[in-house]
Structure 1
Amino acid sequence: MENQLEFEPGFSKEEALAEASRCLQCKKPTCRKGCPVNNAIPQFIKAIKEESYETGLDAIYRHSYLPAVCGRVCPQEKQCEAGCILARKGKALRIGKLEQFIAEQGKDVEFTKVVSTMGAVAVIGSGPAGLAAAVQLAQLGYAVTVFEGESEPGGVLLYGIPEYRLPKEVVRHEIEKIKNLGVEFRLNTLIGVDLLLDDLFTMGFQAVFIGTGAGLPRKLNIPGEDANGVMSAIYALQMINLYKLGQLPENELPVKQGDKVIVIGAGNVAMDAARTSCRLGAEVTVLARRGIDQMTARDKERDEAVAEGVKIIPFIAPLEILGEEDITGVKCAPTEVMENGQLRLIEEESFILPADIVYIAIGQRPFARIVSTSEGFEVNKGGLLISDEHGMTTREGVFAAGDVVHGPATVVMAMGEGRRIAIEIHAYLLRKNRA
């Protein structure tokens, strides 16, 4: 049985009005500078005070298309809230919760619909970059088809982020808005497997946007890494989410009650995998190479993980994953930070932690399905697509944005890039059609 422990709920109307009233409506809002998409923060907060939710959402939609998502999962404490002038006194405005509140109050506000007269564009991937690109292109007058390999759209929003952080119904509601805009979704269709990228141009699409993210784990390069029971944290999260969506039987869950799980990594994905497994009854230990304060995970996610029973061991690194047919443990060694900032393994003090399951959460890289079945693409050593300042890859007419270009980042950054590159696609097609 999953532990249903919940933490901070959303604002009530009274709480939202009280928090919005603290906003100073700065003439030069530094909160906007902290937001990767320069969201209209003062405007939507003013709209909350005036209970004019549609006006506030209209202001948000000029910059961001998924406020109900961003209000929940963005690291506001490092972005907009860090830029809030009130943060200097340790009382930053709760901008994320205010965005979540206005999104909930105005959840029936639709995107402005435009008649499709500009031709057709294909979008590969229905994560935050792909969804944002689809909305922007549709609003510019294009007929947009989103190709998604899973049976339901949403990408990492649906399959990679736990329910307690981002409820599935929130994602589904946002996608329904995008469908109502006229965007078509073709599901269970992997580009590079079921269709080739070249097929999309044959089908009449004038340009292609790739927003497939980064779903393959990076390697640890230690003995035992390929043993049965070692898996990426992303894979574990996807399997657990598929189970919760009713698309996977319980006996195929990667973790069960009583399992000893070791998570190698200290980012948000590591925390998500740790907390999700803990809620399924596992005994979870996270290994962090550096100190608690140097973890890349949000402080909030780290602290809530500990509150749920996750054990975090700082200054520790894996040396070997032990076991023949099944995992028995992880051989570890302490680390110390040297004067140059690099880490040194103290192997003479190594020890063994018992384990049944090991999650690897040290970063991801893109799948190679598209580039390996198409010509004209260049990738860097990490497998990331190379693109120019306009978002065009080395393949004419094919654009990309989000994690597939720069590696794992935030939802709001991927969304902002998807929107920006969609505008670049529009400019490219205008030039091409005039030639």
Structure 2
Amino acid sequence: MYFPEGYVPKHNEKVMALANLIGRRDSKKNSYLWDDPEYVILEAGVDDDMAEVGLAMGFFTKRTAKEMAEIMGKSEEYCHEQMMKLAVYGTTFVNVIDGVDTFWHAESWIPGVMEMIVNNLDNVEKYPVVAYAMEAYGRVRGPMSAGMFPPGIGLMRVIPIEESIEGGSRNVSYEQVSKYLNDNTIFSCSPCSCRTDREAMGEGCGHLKEDMCIQMGHAAEYYIRTGRAREITREEAFEIIKRAEDNGLMHQIPNIDGSGKTHAICNCCGCSCLSLRSGTMYKNVDMVRSNYVSTIDKEKCVACGQCVENCPMNALQLGQKLCSNKPVTENITTTYTPRDHEWTKEDWNPDYRTNRQEVVDTGTAPCKTNCPAHIAVQGYIKLAAQGKYTEALELIKMENPFPAICGYVCNRRCEDACTRGDLDEPIAIDDIKRFIASQDLNKETRFIPRKRHDYSDKKIAVVGSGPAGLSCAYFLAVDGYDVTVFEKEKVVGGMLTLGIPSFVLEKTIVEAEIDVLRELGVTFKTGVEIGKDLTLDQLRDQGYQAFYVAIGAGKGRKVGIAGEDAEGVLSGIDFLSKVNQREEAILSGKVVVVGGGNVAIDVARGATRAGAQVVSMYSLESREQMPAKAEEIEIAESEDIVINNSWGPNRILTENGKVTGVEFKRCTRVFDEGGRFSPQYDEEDLLTVEADYVLLSIGQSVDWGNLLEGSQAVLNPNQTIQVEELTYQSQQPDIFAGGDAVTGPKFAIDAIAAGKQGAISIHRFVQKGQDLRIGRSRREFTELDKEAAVIDSYDTTPRQRVEKVDGQKAKTTFRDLSSTLNEEQIMKETQRCLGCGATVVDEYMCVGCGMCATKCKFDAIKLERVYDGAGVEFLKMKKAVVPTVLKRKLKITAKKVIGKK
């Protein structure tokens, strides 16, 4: 049930007796069972001689080898050898006291013996079952204590991040990490035992494990002596604390040494910690909580989501700030708890590591919801309103490393969804982002994140340097990996460089943001086609451990009509590539562009600049159905491009192998009743158009070449690669993919979002024992009901706009003549934001770790001290717990009586 398949306990009576001794059980009345974790974890590495000496030591009694020799009638050398074996294995402490090695058993299983056994990495390697036993202990014993412990008196105790409680009037020293570090003189650090445990079971969550547990005093002496940890200074211990906080890890201490005392500081995550599991799985939160609870200042909160994403207990969710004429979820505090209810298996949440809910059922801000990358739009607008542009840029880059690029090419789904748009006009979100991101164009002001880890010994290959590949490379570089991007073209940037013309996105902007990756240590190799110049197997031989394939959809589609192979017929994407590389006249005469999307608009505008005298677009869709954005259409027409709607190409007319014109037929329907693409035509209604060149912009496809040759990766009928929806892993385990190679042609922001998720998966894949799903955000967002929103007053300032570009001037240059909002306009525009979203806290599930408060840039979260529980010594714990047990029993009994009435 709890152990690896095929495991069979050996039924060692002496080891069972030792297990009962450590657990203070009567071997006749309530002995452990053979498959209980307490027995199993000892059986793995404790032999008869060790067990016999361990039994003779007694429970929690300090013994020297000389004393044991007298008790057992054995030699002093023999007793010392066996006690050292117990110490090295992990049941027994050893310290030098009065100049003599002194041994005693740890007083509890957890925190205690089990961590000590698993902290010996040799044990985990040699006896993997010990990891399963430690994990099983919480499953078997954890539910039994549900509701029994008063706050602050559990076996483990959350200690708030000190920054989150500084300045509080009711603070006490025993809830400050610095107190414990300053009270001690000897320190050690070891890997986190819980994450070691999960990793050994193949259930790692990707959080940093190395050098994350700090031992102090007698525990540090023991850990150093037995090789479990390395000795560190107090200064190094403080550095570990800071690194843990930066990586979203909160603090816990073993709470069994008495108030204000402890022998260790753990740095924990909610997805692997076996202590926090008592709260997240069993809702037995009082067992681990601090005296603090998070409170939200709704007026200051901007629903950026940083608190929600970093909460280890899933005690925070995004909700709405706007009033509504329909019910809105404003209180998610758990009321059905083990404090006053009988707690059964039906009340547990066994899937807590995969079913985190980040948004309340009635939804949150539409801008964050509808952005494919779920950027904290409301958050960066608020920071910009305060003039905090660097902080705003940092917030954007948590999800989107290329805000300047997106400021020019994003399709603005956030603006389409903006609640303000139902009143007058949406917030100019993209213009605000473009203003903020202008810092990235200057080497002195750009934001470059600190690396979170050092995994420079692990090499990752990214194939393709478009937005998906660059995004994946960025986030892997931030995680500290050695990343190389392979690009088959001579320049980096993929479609950003070759597919989007400079008059839409200047290449200096692309280069500036790619330079950030170079500063993070990413290597770029251009002119290298994987599958042709190098194979994936050759890269594996060079030490690359995983691949992110993001080659994009850079191949133009054909229509499948007569004449499309004639001279003068080009795919729109090939044409744009040529224009981007040469930026000179390569066309002449009359040019017909077939297509109605944004790319077709770019092609038509490019043709105008590339020498065409007349440019006409022919779109299958009606004007209302055209996929191109209305503003793009307006720009095209300002440059004298004529748009003809509801016409589909019938054949291309040629003479001597060269195009002379196009015959179109009237399109009477583009989509069927179900919204599926299913065009119908009036075959009798034909139109002939003269043309010297025809540019086909009707879609793009992926050209795989030999890239995937020999792999298990599978392609769909449309030539996109099959990947798992959440993890982006293909059927070849070390190949991950994203962007257009997975979805077909979409927008840069979609690819960027996929790049980050691919990086998360690759980080887990190349680290031993990690699961690709556990503890991971499912990115499930729900939009609030805008129709029900009640908005009594708001800033009536009209939307700020940049000066329109003169189309007649624009069509004469390959440069982008558009401008940005100025700072005065930014101040006005940011005030127009309605501030739709706000975070909601579950005050019962909150353990008061303070992570949310430290991640909030808006001073919207505070920790309030609502309990006064102080830790007690382990042997005095029963007495401290009994009153709570009795009160709980009375409450449950009373409810049953009321229920019968």
TM over 0.5: yes
Q: Give distance in 2, aligned partners of 1:369 and 1:291.
A: 36
Number of the residue aligned with 1:333: 665
* 1:347 match: secondary structure: strand
CA–CA separation in structure 1 for the residues paired with 2:724 and 2:670: 38
Partner of 2:836: none
Aligned to 2:185: none
Q: Among 344, 347, 360, which residue is 2:683 paired with?
A: 347
Letter aligned with residue 95 of structure 1: I
**Code of the aligned partner of 1:109:** R
Give the secondary structure class of the aligned counterpart of 2:398.
coil
1:305 deviates by 0.6
Amino acid at match of 2:564: E
| Contact 2:414-2:429 within 8 A present in 1 as well | yes
Q: Is the 8 A contact 1:197 1:374 kept in 2?
A: no
- Post-superposition shift, 1:433? 7.9
* 413-422 vs 214-223, which moves further: 214-223
Q: 2:436 aligns with which of 102, 125, 128?
A: 102
Letter in 2 for 1:64: N
Confirm or deny: 8 A CA contact 1:32 1:83 kept in the other structure. Answer: no
In the TM superposition, what are the counterparts of 1:47-126 in structure 2 within 5 Å? 47-76=383-412, 79-105=413-439, 107=441, 108-114=445-451, 115-117=454-456, 119-126=458-465
| Cα distance, 1:162–1:364 mapped onto 2, change above 3 Å | same
Greater displacement, 348-357 / 411-420: 348-357
Query: How far has the Cα of 1:362 moved from its partner?
Result: 1.2
Checking the alignment, whether the CA contact within 8 Å between 1:271 and 1:301 is kept in structure 2 is yes
> 477, 483, 486: which is aligned to 1:138?
477
Deviation at 1:187, TM superposition (A): 1.1
Query: Conserved in 1, the CA contact under 8 Å of 2:532 and 2:707?
Result: no
2:624 to 293, 316, 322: 293
CA distance in 2, matches of 1:326, 1:145: 44
- Asked if the contact 1:47/1:53 (under 8 Å) is kept, the reply is yes
Partner of 1:177: 516
Distance 1:100 1:331, change over 3 A: same
| Structure 1 contact 223–320 (Cα < 8 Å) conserved | yes
Between the two proteins, what is the percent identity of the paired residues?
34
Quote the offset at 1:377 in angstroms.
2.4
Alignment of structure 1 residues 384-403 onto 2, 5 Å: 384-389=720-725, 390-403=727-740
CA distance in 2, matches of 1:292, 1:81: 21
Instruction: Give the whole-Å Cα distance in 1 for the aligned partners of 2:620 and 2:301.
Output: 41
Distance in 2 between residues matched to 1:309 and 1:380, nearest whole Å:
40
Quote the Cα distance in structure 1 between the aligned partners of 2:535 and 2:579: 30
Say if 1:116 and 1:141, in contact at 8 Å, map to a contact too: yes
Q: Specify the code of the residue in structure 2 equivalent to 1:427.
A: R
- State whether structure 2 residue 554 is matched by structure 1 residue 215: yes
The question of whether the paired residues in 1 share the 8 Å contact of 2:439 and 2:446 is answered with: no
Q: Tell me, what secondary structure is at the counterpart of 1:386? A: coil
Per-residue CA distance 1:159-186 (angstroms, 9 max, x = gap): 1111121111100000111100000001
Q: Name 2:699's counterpart in structure 1.
A: 363
Pairing partner for 1:303 from 634, 653, 677: 634
> 2:753 maps to what in 1?
416
Cα distance, 1:428 vs structure 2: 1.5
In structure 1, the partner of 2:486 is 147
Q: For the Cα contact (< 8 Å) 2:594–2:694, is it kept in 1? A: yes
C-alpha distance in 2 between matches for 1:432 and 1:241: 46
**AA aligned opposite 2:395:** A
Counterpart for residue 717 of structure 2: 381
Range 258-267 or range 410-419, more displaced: 258-267
Match of residue 15 from structure 1 = none
Aligned pairs, number:
401
Contact 1:53 1:106 in 2 (8 A): no
Question: 1:325–1:91: structure 2 CA closer, same or farther, 3 Å change rule?
Answer: same
The SS at the match of 2:493 is coil
Matched, 1:280 2:280: no
Query: Which residue of 1 is the match for residue 155 of structure 2?
Result: none
Given that 1:260 and 1:354 are in contact with CA atoms closer than 8 Å, whether structure 2 keeps it comes out as yes
Residues 24 and 83 of structure 1, relative CA distance in 2, 3 Å threshold: farther
The residue aligned with 2:743 is: 406
Q: Match of 1:152, SS? A: coil
Tell me how far apart the structure 2 counterparts of residues 118 and 81 of structure 1 sit (CA, whole Å): 42
Q: How does 1:215-254 map to 2 (within 5 A)?
A: 215-244=554-583
Aligned residue type for 2:666? P
Structure 1 match to 2:158: none
With normalisation by structure 1, the TM-score equals 0.88
Whole-Å Cα distance in 1 between the matches of residues 768 and 455 of structure 2? 18
Number of the residue aligned with 2:596: 266
- Contact 1:118 1:141 survives alignment (8 Å): no
Query: Residue type matched to 1:54 in 2?
Result: T
CA–CA distance in 1 between the matches of 2:391 and 2:594? 45
- List alignment gaps of at least 5 residues for structure 1: 1-22, 245-249
What's the CA shift for 1:340?
4.3
**Residues 669 and 681, structure 2, Cα contact 8 Å, conserved in 1:** no
Structure 2 partner of 1:4: none
Pick one of 189, 204, 210 that aligns with 2:543.
Answer: 204
Partner SS for 1:231: strand
Which has more radius of gyration?
Answer: 2
Which AA in structure 2 matches 1:309? D
Distance in 1 (alpha carbons) for counterparts of 2:301 and 2:650: 52
SS of alignment partner, residue 69 of structure 1 = helix
Return the match for 2:466 from 127, 130, 138: 127
The residue identity in structure 2 corresponding to 1:93 is: I
Q: CA RMSD in A?
A: 2.0
Pairing partner for 2:652 from 299, 321, 335: 321
Counterpart of 1:311, as a letter, is V
Confirm or deny: 8 A CA contact 1:306 1:312 kept in the other structure: yes
Post-superposition offset of 1:38: 0.9
Contact 1:371 1:377 in 2 (8 A): no
Q: Which amino acid aligns with 1:348?
A: E
> How far 1:417 sits from its partner (Å)?
0.4
1:67–1:103 CA contact under 8 A, matched in 2 = yes
What is the Cα deviation at residue 432 of structure 1?
A: 5.3
* Change beyond 3 A, Cα 1:409–1:339: closer
**CA distance 1:98–1:320, change in 2 (3 Å):** same
CA contact (8 A) 1:125 1:155 kept: yes
Instruction: Report the equivalent of 2:859.
Output: none
- 1:10 is aligned to none
Q: Deviations over 1:282-328 (max 9, x none)?
A: 11111111201101111111111111111111111111111132101
Would the alpha carbon gap of residues 227 and 166 (structure 1) be closer, same or farther in structure 2, given more than 3 Å must change?
same
Q: TM-score, normalised by structure 2?
A: 0.43
Give the deviation of 1:146 after TM superposition: 0.4
Which SS does the other structure have where 1:420 is aligned? helix
For residues 709 and 609 of structure 2, the distance between their equivalents in structure 1, rounded to whole angstroms, comes to 40
Residue 190 of structure 1 and its aligned partner are, at CA, apart by 1.0
Three-state SS of the structure 1 residue aligned to 2:765 is helix
Is contact 1:335–1:343 with CA below 8 Å preserved after alignment?
Answer: yes
Does residue 157 (structure 1) correspond to residue 492 (structure 2)? The answer is no
Query: Aligned equivalents of 1:243 and 1:57: distance in 2?
Result: 33
Q: Shift in Å at residue 24 of structure 1?
A: 11
1:240 is paired with a residue whose SS is helix
Gap change, CA 1:322 and 1:169, over 3 Å in 2: same
Could you tell me which amino acid in structure 2 is paired with residue 85 of structure 1? Answer: T
**Distance in 1 between residues matched to 2:628 and 2:589, nearest whole Å:** 24
Give, in whole Å, the separation in 2 of the partners of 1:60 and 1:206: 29
Distance in 2 between residues matched to 1:387 and 1:408, nearest whole Å: 16
Moved more, 373-382 or 126-135: 373-382
Contact kept, 8 Å, 2:440 with 2:447, in 1: the verdict is no
